[in-house]
Chain A
Amino acid sequence: MKRILKLAALLAAVLLVFAACSKGADADSAPFHIGVVTGSVSQSEDDLRGAEELIKLYGDSKTGGMITHLTYPDNFMDQMDTTISQILSLADDAKLKAIIVNQAVPGTAEAFKRVREKRPDILLFAGEPHEDPPVIQEVADMAINSDFISRGYTIIWAAKQMGAKAFVHISFPRHMSYETLGLRRLIMEQACTDLGMQFIFETAPDPTSEVGVAGAQQYILEKMPQWIEKYGEETAFFCTNDAHTEPLLKQLFAYGGYFVEADLPSPLMGYPGALGLDLTAEAGDFQKILKKVEESVVAKGGAGRFGTWAYSYGFTVTAGLGEYARRILAGETQLGDKASLNDSFAKFTPGAKWASGPYVNALTGQQASNHMLVFMDTYVFGQGYLPTTAQAIDPKYYEISVNN
């Protein structure tokens, strides 16, 4: 019994001592802080690089700047606890006025709820939320998704333009249970029927399961030659998981087939690994990166068969939301100003065409004022931009719903 008391007393004393001294804030010049939470480099590099770009622009809060950057765990599907407490720990800083989570992995909504209970003054932005739209709309001040509805049509349209006759959609149960991804699959299926293409759904292992990334990539490597043989070389491939992208591209270069764009498109997505590119010299400059990737794709005989977005989606969302939050906090604009949001994104993507619109709930037809869907023109290597953002999309695609 004595021991318990001793230990407890020691623990309490320690906590109190450090509670007192840990708040010895140094001379901090920034008027406010912005918290940015992204995946790690090994999980989603682009998102993290966007946070680093923000740090480069506005400084790290530890050294008098604005940005506090944290990462959620690699195996976020196992460790929701950690994700929540990482996000929540940001709210401990009284100067922190905005939190950006990109990608908003499961647990973000709960963390936002808790932040809101404690600190209603903090702006909460979610990039590419994994949780269902109504859940995240309820708690976030602004959510950004890549336009899973329009792209359900435009990716198929682009595949047809590039010359594909069939479309293979590679995914697995966890992803198909996300409303955004599941819905897009249904739209793609419909678009294929309408445009006279064959739609095929293939299952590959989930990289977050215990086969790990290695097992998942191995599966794609092994299966691709067989799939291409089965469905023909005039087939476009699409996968919903980032980890699948690299082996997919590698095999497409070797065996033929088309690739319109990745789930979260970026010139950095899959290509550098599949092509063995060194981009050190081009770091940070997406126009140069795109050029180098293009040269290499064309050299490998992939002209006209491979596409991407000219700028990284993940990078832009992190950086763009950060910029938007800064503008709001600095009083340059206010929450809900769409023009300023677009402008914040454009800051990181000079010369690119974006299309954006509010999320529309297929069930109720309501528009969400705080949930934007964005997408960009597809850039086909060795060929140039496809005007995907200029396509007129049949309204019926917006009415496809997952619940019937």
Chain B
Amino acid sequence: MNLRSLVVKITLAVVYLVLAVWAYGAGKGYPLYIDNTDLSKPTMLSVVIDGKSPVRVREGAYTEIMVKGARKHTISLVLPSGAEYRETFRFPAGAQAAEIRVPELAPGSDPVVRPVLPRQDR
């Protein structure tokens, strides 16, 4: 009886710990910045990440979107003109944050995702 309850307790503790470690790892969020601060060709766009509801990025804005987990993500940027840019990316190893610059979007090519430092650390 004593042994059984001990085993149960240990199992419970292990499950608890494993679950916590998994949640911490898989749920960790990384910021992705959309740099729309260049006002020479002002445009608003909406950003969809992993099929979630779209985030509006206004002209002149430098918007931070949190992205869950260091795994593969799909991003799509839609301009009011209807032009759409899609890209599948993975947070580069060791990178804590990434950035996409709107002026660099060129028709026909994929948007560039480059690793940067998180904003607070800059």
Q: Which A positions have Cβ atoms within 8 angstroms of B?
A: 117, 137-138, 361, 363-364, 366-370, 403
- The chain A residue sitting closest to B59, CB to CB, is A369
| Cβ–Cβ < 8 Å partners of B62 in chain A | 361, 364, 366
Within 8 A of A (CB), among B25-57: 37, 53, 55-56
* Docked-complex contact A363 and B59, CB < 8 angstroms: no
| Cβ–Cβ < 8 Å partners of A369 in chain B | 58-61
Annotate B52-82 by CB proximity to A: 1 below 8 A, 0 otherwise: 0101101111110000000000000000000
Shortest CB distance A126–B (Å): 15
Shortest CB distance A370–B (Å): 7
- The chain A residue sitting closest to B42, CB to CB, is A369
Q: Which B positions have Cβ atoms within 8 angstroms of A?
A: 37, 53, 55-56, 58-63, 119-120
Known pairs A117-B53, A366-B37; A403 contacts B58 (CB<8 A): no
Count chain A CB atoms within 10 A of each CB in B53, B61, B63, B120 and give the residue with the most: B61
Among B55, B58, B119, contact of A368 (Cβ-Cβ < 8 Å): B58
Among A361, A364, A370, contact of B58 (Cβ-Cβ < 8 Å): A370
* Docked-complex contact A403 and B120, CB < 8 angstroms: yes
Shortest CB distance A338–B (Å): 14
| Cβ–Cβ < 8 Å partners of A364 in chain B | 37, 62, 119
Shortest CB distance B42–A (Å): 9
Give the complex CA separation of A363 and B59 in angstroms: 17
Give the complex CA separation of A138 and B59 in angstroms: 12
Give the complex CA separation of A361 and B60 in angstroms: 11
Give the complex CA separation of A138 and B57 in angstroms: 8
- The chain A residue sitting closest to B44, CB to CB, is A369
Known pairs A363-B119, A403-B120; A368 contacts B53 (CB<8 A): no
* Docked-complex contact B53 and A366, CB < 8 angstroms: no
Give the complex CA separation of A361 and B120 in angstroms: 14
| Cβ–Cβ < 8 Å partners of B58 in chain A | 137, 368-370
Give the complex CA separation of A363 and B60 in angstroms: 14
Give the complex CA separation of A83 and B58 in angstroms: 27
Give the complex CA separation of A368 and B120 in angstroms: 20
Shortest CB distance A357–B (Å): 14
